Amino acid sequence: MHVGNQAKGVKDQPDWNLEAQKLRGRIEGRLPAPLPKIEDACSAMLEAVHEHYRTVEGEGAVAVVTVAATREQDLAACIERTSAAAAMCVALAIQDRQEEYPWLLDQCSRAFPRS
């Protein structure tokens, strides 16, 4: 009997860096040139995330409320730890509605690391 997600073993784990490079290839040509200042890029990211969850899950959804409640802390953390390209990557990719915000933030940060 198999229940839930089965462990695949260490050798079969996803290559997250490879996945990030695939995402980079999908998004890189869509990034604005020049990139906005980090504060503006982070604001755009958080606005896009809020709009995504509001549209997909509805105004009162937990994700919408959480994103709104943590906006100031998330903005400060983004400015401190994230590149403008990674923030814009999230803002653009979340509009495609194929991935969730936490995964996108991780993958975009790998694809466009802060220098």
Q: What is the pLDDT of residue 11?
A: 72
Residue with tokens 């784990």: 13
Neighbours of 46 (CB within 10 A): 22
| Amino acid making up residue 24 | R
Q: What is the pLDDT of residue 6?
A: 64
Segments forming the whole domain that contains residue 106 = 16-111
| Amino acid making up residue 92 | L
Is the pTM above the cut of 0.75? yes
Distance CA 59, CA 61 (A): 6
Task: Give the residue among 80, 76, 74 at the shortest CA–CA distance from 102.
Answer: 74
The domain tally of the chain equals 1
Residues of the chain short of pLDDT 50, as ranges, are none
In a domain, residue 6? The reply is no
In a domain, residue 8? The reply is no
In a domain, residue 9? The reply is no
Q: What is the pLDDT of residue 99?
A: 86
DSSP state, 95?
G
In a domain, residue 36? The reply is yes
Q: What is the pLDDT of residue 3?
A: 58
Q: What is the pLDDT of residue 98?
A: 82
User: 3-class DSSP state for residue 29?
Assistant: helix
Q: What is the pLDDT of residue 14?
A: 81
In a domain, residue 69? The reply is yes
